[in-house]
Structure 1
């Protein structure tokens, strides 16, 4: 080997060593930062929520290719037990990378196992996430793998972490005149809202569309948050998001599964969120019982909704 070739080879080796050292330093720096972000976010969140980690939940065996998560946002307002303000089934398929969302109207009139007919959100008040799981499975034949009980403070924190500049929505006139219901001051028109304001926007139901409008807004907001995560988030920020979720969300979803789904979003593998609402149009009617105003299924309506929901989640 000539002296010139030996010199070139030594230069290549030195460059490679420099590259490896830079890579290792960067990896360790990111790893340390990620650990710090996760731990600090998790500790801060745990100190600021009212959720219990001692929750009974007997979800079905996990199908790694198709996972159903019961998502509950409670309306306890400081009480020990409140009715579920938000009831959703979040579905994710690792085969299709397709996130899906089934929203169940909280006034849907169903049979709560062991307690008789009532609004479906009463199941949460009576028996927490486990009774809600049983109620959904008995009425709609949907197997649930995990649950996620969300503290609304956590929603605000997550929104502000994911989208520090806010999420763009269009505020309707009714929201500007009902500040007591919202708890915040909003102005009419298209604008960017931060966590607290966006939560009020997504929970508002005091217009002509009532709870139907709220469900639509909740699905709209989640869709836009998913887009925001996919467009601006980096792997280095993912541990912070998991840390916040770990503190403000009571859940039995494995951290590994959260990281796997989060990585799919970051890599742009996921599709747009597909949504469905229960009860579906023309399958129910308004009724009133001793529990108040309810959405009662027409004859055959429950079976129709159950079949459509199963097909939607499994196709």
Structure 2
């Protein structure tokens, strides 16, 4: 009798554990399906208006020796098939061990050696690389001058930035606009603390028609990225992440797959990891304004900037 009762108890336990595993399996399956359909929904919403760029770029990405994931982020003023210079150049670095994020902006007038082309502004490398090799030549340029290995690239259509902001923040992103801005950005911004939709926020980060020019623009770009990261975490955006990735995907030309983007984006939304450290190349006191055949450039102390960037990424 005791043996039979013991066997019945064991059977009930097996049934209970089987039920638990079945429920967990169904929950995971439902989450995967939900994420997939949200992702496809975002892609479909954007694909209707995105200019599909099927250009495939050759890119010999290299893993960083210190285990970082370094991504070349480009905002380009390209239109159609014409070659263009990079409007925005950044290095986004993700440390998988600490889950931390760092962002380095390289000012586009930085005067460097471009492999095979001699001295020029760094943003010229995208155009000089041609239709198939623009990002690759820029990768080589950064590697040769600053000794930083880049594994991935992502060229962002500015319309994708607008769509992402509007989808993630229907009420806008809170920004303190420091002055009146209108020239060259397609919108008019008045000074003061306000919530900006995607179109006006894009205008804010692209404005450079004042005394500080590109320096102010780079600072605004970094501040907005940090603020967006902070607000992502504060509004609990994680359930929306698959759709947000889907919304922006048609506007990005990249060699990263969606799984990589989701993996790194998930960490950015956590409360502990939302702070993004930033720096700018050239660093203060390491450059001077010069005029050369390429136009007005920032002639830099290359060794000082190379060392500063290494220290920033390694700490």
Q: Any conservation in 2 of the 1:174–1:207 contact (CA below 8 Å)? A: no
Measure, in 1, the Cα distance between the counterparts of 2:167 and 2:21: 32
Identify if the C-alpha distance between structure 1 residues 81 and 280 changes in structure 2 by more than 3 Å, giving closer, same or farther: same
CA distance in 2, matches of 1:92, 1:117: 30
- Partner residue of 1:146 out of 130, 139, 152: 152
User: What does the per-residue CA deviation read over 1:124-147, in whole Å, with 9 as the maximum and x for residues that have no partner?
Assistant: 111111111011111111111111
Cα offset, 1:258, TM superposition:
2.0
1:275 equivalent to 2:275? Answer: no
Q: For 2:242, what is the secondary structure of its paired residue?
A: helix
- Counterparts in 2 of 1:24 and 1:276: CA distance versus 1, 3 Å: same
Following the alignment from structure 2 to structure 1, what is the Cα–Cα distance between the partners of residues 22 and 170?
A: 34
| Counterpart residue number, 2:290 | 287
Question: Which of 201, 205, 211 is matched with 1:202 structurally?
Answer: 205
Q: Distance in 1 between matches of 2:203 and 2:274?
A: 27
> What residue in structure 2 maps to residue 31 of structure 1?
32
Matched ranges for 1:1-315 at <5 A: 27-47=28-48, 48-61=50-63, 65-78=67-80, 80-127=82-129, 128-175=134-181, 179-297=182-300, 301-315=301-315
Cα distance in structure 2, aligned partners of 1:64 and 1:285: 32
Q: TM-score, normalised by structure 1?
A: 0.86
How much has 1:83 moved relative to structure 2?
1.1
Structure 2 gaps, min length 5: 3-12
Q: Using the TM superposition, give the Cα deviation of residue 161 of structure 1 relative to its aligned residue in structure 2, in angstroms.
A: 1.8
Shift of 1:165: 1.3
Q: Give 1:102 deviation, angstroms.
A: 0.7
Aligned residues: 306
Quick one: distance in 2 between partners of 1:63 and 1:262? 22
Deviation at 1:246, TM superposition (A): 2.2
Q: Is the 8 A contact 1:30 1:236 kept in 2?
A: no
Contact 1:168 1:192 in 2 (8 A): yes
Deviations 1:83-121 (A, max 9, x none): 111100001111222211110000111111111111110
Residue segments in structure 1 that go unaligned for 5+ positions in a row:
2-11
